[in-house]
Structure 1
Amino acid sequence: MRASEMRRYISAEFDGVRVAEASGDSFFLYDPDGDLPPARQMPFATIVTGDHYDDVSKLDGRDAYRLNIGLTKATYTASFGDPPTDYAAEDTLMPHPTYASQYWVCVVNPGEATLPTVRALLAEAHGYAARKYANYRRRAAADG
């Protein structure tokens, strides 16, 4: 699946998604009312198309992108043991090279081997973002 197809999939499949773009990359936020303050704007998934944040996936100079998905601690720890050493491997779900400690995973060029898992993880990440948003709104309403 190409990066443009993955962008369309995430935007169409999940409600309340706002997409922020920077340097050709996409950041998918759960913000159904478009009013989250900047301090609360944490994406549940990102698509990175180059090596401007890190170079471990070796995205520059090839037709590749990295899909990053923020997971709950429970899902992350149930899925991964030792971190991989090859962050450039394609169609392989692995801990994120920088944000693994914050329970993020990534896939370079998701394809047949990983798409079913990627879709399930995106749904879970979106649901988690929606729960965090609802909690934020309840707290804000209670604080008046």
Structure 2
Amino acid sequence: MIQYLKDNEAKLIIAPHPQEGLLFDTTIDGIYFVFSIMDGKARHIQDPGTLKAVYVNSILHGNSLTSLSLEQGLPIPPGTELLRDINNGKVYFMERIGAEKVLRHILSPSIADKYRFNLSKARNINGIVSYVVGPILQ
């Protein structure tokens, strides 16, 4: 069951989750938004620079949160990027949550494809001691 708000009224819908990793766009009150589905929630990509720096261009056009029966999650903030640890070759999705820089390990190239990540854009780093390690992206 998924709950969402529409016109300030809570709705409860029984529907399968759309595909994890899907990128989709929608227009709300005349404003254009792009979302990524992560952890079963629609996360608004707040900055066009983040969209270009992290994702490949494969946006599904013309959907909405309500048509996909999705709960909205935390937004993906500006400054989110892909990082590659040169010590072990692991690639991470890095986003700021509050004051912390949180890393989520991208387990494999197929997981990167699932989330539409552009691994060629990963920035090299030397170790992850200054980051908080979050859950693995699967």
Larger helix proportion of the pair: 1
Larger strand proportion of the pair: 2
TM-score w.r.t. structure 1 length? 0.22
TM-score w.r.t. structure 2 length? 0.23
